[in-house]
Structure 1
Amino acid sequence: MTLSRDVASFDSATAMTTAIARFLHGRHTAPLGAPTARALLPLAAAANRLPVRLRESIYSAASAAEARPPRRLAAVAFEEIATSIVRLYPRRRYPAVMLGSSNGALMHLCAALGIPWLPQTVLLPLRQRRVPPDEPMRAVHAFDETARRLLDRNPDLVLHHMHDPNQDRLTSRRMAYFRVKRTRLGPAYQRFLVDSLDPGAVLFIAECTRRWPTTRVGERHVFQFGAVGGLEPAEYRAGGPRVAAYLRRYGIARQRWDVPESDGESPEAEWGFEPALRDDVIAFARRHGYRVRRLVFEDPEDLSPLVADLYRWWYRERGLPADQLLVDSFILLDPRRTLLTGAVPYWSVFPVQSSADALARYLDRSDGYDGIHLALFCHGVESVGLVTVDQWRALLQRARVSGTFAGVDVRRYPSDLANLFRYHRCRRVPDRCPPADPLPMRMFDAFLTDSRDRYPASVVDAN
């Protein structure tokens, strides 16, 4: 089970694809999708004892190891990547498939239904040497020729060159983020659907409508400065005290970043859905007798309360306890472990203020949990908007019995290098549920009917 080397294993799309594929094979999620990566835990634990700046350098070098040289990336044929994605899944018949936006809650929904997910967006990590994180004006046109050749070779792709010196500071020292979104299914996805779906199956399209200011660089090519997380688009561009303090930490005496002018808005690079794909999916479904249902939500975390409550309802329908909440963070998720432990999954994007606020709102409207177990993805730096350990502890204290951190060394947060490997060994919640048959589609529909208008996410028929 391996993906193309041209995609980043640490990205949301590839990590989540691998997680749901391993689930469908009856396996737990492995760090970076590779069981052999667990061998890196002792090295990461040893590196954790180094000073923070040395840990930052290690993080930067390790993440950049996946970056591809411009010549190689320009020659990528996306159908080869798509083929490597569909080959991850077990060859059997499915009643439905999920396509579209990346989303951790969506992976738990796929696990409940027992169906695969085909991502619209993937990250092509591009090697860069001479573009400092805090100089987006140098980044915007640094790889125009590479982008042109990539898009000429792949006419069904839209390229979002993303540059975020806040959350991706360490990775962007040596790597540019080329996120590509497909506008058509393409042969590999189409073959997989025809070969794997039951007659009359459902094609779910996950559509995150989050948009972001962008600068048009070329045809099917935009530049996005900043990303979903600790800062909103206006603060990325206008700066202010929080940005100034962050820049001073790295020896930069400015109030703001010097950024290219935006000339429009586009689907957010990592999470947003490119609507052109929807038309192709609907046309394909009509040709083959499939149904299409749109799962529409504005922000990535809007789906999390719906999926958490679905699991809680499902456990109770099966006569199982539903008193343990497991809070995932970015790519730290394990669908199989979640179901075997009988945990209710709640996915958060990053350990930032907006995610903490969303979790607090969910806890406010839920009927409480005996246990809350919280993962925190560590991206290496104290970025703007990051939530402190004490703030997270306050949320854990809302558990009726016990609130614990899952797999993170809070003394080294947010630069715990072992976090990515330790999370998958965490067993704070013991296995207590037998493997379940997939949730029947009629039960999912019944839950949606009973909970109509309760959530910011909606499911609508498209054909």
Structure 2
Amino acid sequence: MGGPFLPQAYVLTLKKGSLDGNVQNYFNLSAETARIVTEKNPGVMSIQHYDPIHDGWLTKRVNHLRLKLLDMSEVYQEYIRKNLLPGGEIIYLDGGAKWKQYQVGPKNVFQVGGWGDISAEEFLYGSDRIRAYCKKERMKFSDWQLEGYPLIDGPESEWGSEPGLAESIEAFCKREGYRFTRIAFDDPNQFNVLAYKAVEKQLSLAGREPAGTLVEVFTQYDASAVLRSGLVPLWLIFNTNDSAEFLAKMSPNFKKDRPVFFSPLSTFSVTPDLVPWEHWEKALRGIDWTNVGTRISHYPADTWTVIDWQKPLKDWCKENEAPITNLLDGKTLSELANEIKSNPF
């Protein structure tokens, strides 16, 4: 697109967590902070996010408070006026993912768990595999219901867009003379398909074939590798079973005569829904792929990948430099999005 990404959500990582998995204690850590922030900032809502499994080693020591914009901030408006050409385009990615949340205030919710292969209900009410995990991790509590607050279906903390911001941006575009394009998916993986197909489209319009495929996971990614080399990106949400299933559905699209790079993620925790290594291999069956992430001997806890996982990938990109220079507009992205809704894979 040739432009910056402005997020709706910002995460504050605050001191102290819950060593024993006590959901009430975790809630109490930032409940008052969340209330004060949203009272002083009318265009902001808060989500206290507690995932004692996927973020288990973190939530024992820190707590997460996510803030989301409900209105287009003055800072964003000023930034766009200064940097976007007159008549330029703003593309809004509208995530429709839902999750069970506790309504703890007018603009405040509390969410237990997050996207992966464990449902919201399993997080709240427990299960045999969660109890076994908590016992192994020496957590006293293994179900995480917050008493005294109504349970609602709300926009998922990480992958759901809060209502209000899209309408605010569209109104801003009408006032300022910018074009507005809204692309909406309920499943966050569909945005990953869109990114994959968008780069394919860029290369096709430039008369080029993909240089190969780059599969990356969560925070272990290098966007510059795609722009420098013409690799087609497939981003996976996390190293949980649902991401391996998504990869298996997408891998038949990979160019078999071109390199395929895969960067398995190091999370330093063995969760109940962690992808076994052999399932990654199964998802990539029939493909000669190169590992540029966590080593099989250390999965899922490879310190080396945290320090310098990008080096093999950067070396390849340097030797195969072929930058992508053309851009796509919102109309083309919308057309691709509609195709994905009809045929997701």
Structure 2 length normalisation: TM-score?
Answer: 0.90
**What amino acid is aligned across from residue 300 of structure 1 in structure 2?**
P
> Is the CA contact 1:373–1:396 (under 8 Å) kept in the aligned structure 2?
no
- In terms of mean alpha carbon deviation, does 170-179 or 366-375 score higher? 366-375
Q: Whole-Å Cα distance in 1 between the matches of residues 317 and 254 of structure 2? A: 23
Q: 1:454 aligns with which of 327, 339, 343?
A: 339
Secondary structure in structure 1 of the residue aligned to 2:266: coil
Q: 1:260 aligns with which of 146, 164, 170?
A: 146
Measured at CA, do residues 133 and 125 of structure 1 come closer, stay the same or move farther in structure 2, by a change above 3 Å?
farther
Secondary structure in structure 2 of the residue aligned to 1:455: helix
Question: Are 2:261 and 1:376 equivalent residues in the alignment?
Answer: no
**What amino acid is aligned across from residue 135 of structure 2 in structure 1?**
R
> Is the CA contact 2:31–2:48 (under 8 Å) kept in the aligned structure 1?
no
Question: Are 2:166 and 1:278 equivalent residues in the alignment?
Answer: yes
CA deviation string 1:190-212 (max 9, x = no partner)? 11111111121111111111111
Give me the identity figure in percent.
24
Question: Are 2:294 and 1:408 equivalent residues in the alignment?
Answer: yes
The residue aligned with 1:226 is 113
Instruction: Note the 1:370-449 alignment, pairs <5 A.
Output: 370-399=258-287, 402-427=288-313, 429-431=316-318, 432-441=320-329, 445-446=331-332, 449=335
Give the superposition deviation at 1:425.
1.8
Give the superposition deviation at 1:446.
4.6
**What amino acid is aligned across from residue 152 of structure 2 in structure 1?**
G
The residue aligned with 2:181 is 293
CA deviation string 1:389-447 (max 9, x = no partner)? 11112233332xx2122122222221223323322223274442433323142xx6357
Measured at CA, do residues 326 and 313 of structure 1 come closer, stay the same or move farther in structure 2, by a change above 3 Å?
same
CA deviation string 1:320-339 (max 9, x = no partner)? 33251101111222222122
The residue aligned with 2:193 is 305
Question: Are 2:13 and 1:128 equivalent residues in the alignment?
Answer: no
> Is the CA contact 2:112–2:144 (under 8 Å) kept in the aligned structure 1?
no
> Is the CA contact 1:140–1:223 (under 8 Å) kept in the aligned structure 2?
yes
Instruction: Note the 1:54-453 alignment, pairs <5 A.
Output: 113-128=1-16, 131-132=18-19, 134-252=21-139, 256-260=142-146, 262-322=150-210, 324-364=212-252, 368=256, 370-399=258-287, 402-427=288-313, 429-431=316-318, 432-441=320-329, 445-446=331-332, 449=335, 451=336, 453=338
Give the superposition deviation at 1:146.
1.9
Measured at CA, do residues 434 and 325 of structure 1 come closer, stay the same or move farther in structure 2, by a change above 3 Å?
closer
Secondary structure in structure 2 of the residue aligned to 1:454: helix
Aligned-residue RMSD, C-alpha? 2.3
> Is the CA contact 1:353–1:386 (under 8 Å) kept in the aligned structure 2?
yes
Give the superposition deviation at 1:294.
0.6
> Is the CA contact 1:128–1:175 (under 8 Å) kept in the aligned structure 2?
yes
> Is the CA contact 1:329–1:349 (under 8 Å) kept in the aligned structure 2?
yes
Q: Whole-Å Cα distance in 1 between the matches of residues 185 and 328 of structure 2? A: 23
Give the superposition deviation at 1:350.
0.4
Q: Whole-Å Cα distance in 2 between the matches of residues 452 and 330 of structure 1? A: 22
> Is the CA contact 2:214–2:260 (under 8 Å) kept in the aligned structure 1?
yes
**What amino acid is aligned across from residue 281 of structure 1 in structure 2?**
I
Give the superposition deviation at 1:368.
4.6
Measured at CA, do residues 282 and 414 of structure 1 come closer, stay the same or move farther in structure 2, by a change above 3 Å?
same
> Is the CA contact 1:133–1:165 (under 8 Å) kept in the aligned structure 2?
no
Give the superposition deviation at 1:371.
2.8
Q: Whole-Å Cα distance in 1 between the matches of residues 337 and 37 of structure 2? A: 43
> Is the CA contact 1:162–1:226 (under 8 Å) kept in the aligned structure 2?
yes
Q: Whole-Å Cα distance in 1 between the matches of residues 307 and 151 of structure 2? A: 41
Q: Whole-Å Cα distance in 1 between the matches of residues 272 and 67 of structure 2? A: 26
Q: Whole-Å Cα distance in 1 between the matches of residues 47 and 144 of structure 2? A: 19
Measured at CA, do residues 206 and 378 of structure 1 come closer, stay the same or move farther in structure 2, by a change above 3 Å?
same
**What amino acid is aligned across from residue 164 of structure 2 in structure 1?**
A
Give the superposition deviation at 1:253.
7.3
Secondary structure in structure 2 of the residue aligned to 1:119: coil
> Is the CA contact 1:133–1:172 (under 8 Å) kept in the aligned structure 2?
no
User: Structure 2: which 5+ runs fail to align?
Assistant: none
- Structure 1 segments, 4+ long, off by >6 Å, are none
Structure 1 length normalisation: TM-score?
Answer: 0.68
Aligned length: 339
CA deviation string 1:346-383 (max 9, x = no partner)? 01000111111111111245665633211122221001
Q: Which has the higher contact order (CA 8 A, sep 6+)?
A: 1
**What amino acid is aligned across from residue 312 of structure 2 in structure 1?**
C
Give the superposition deviation at 1:457.
9.1
Measured at CA, do residues 294 and 440 of structure 1 come closer, stay the same or move farther in structure 2, by a change above 3 Å?
closer
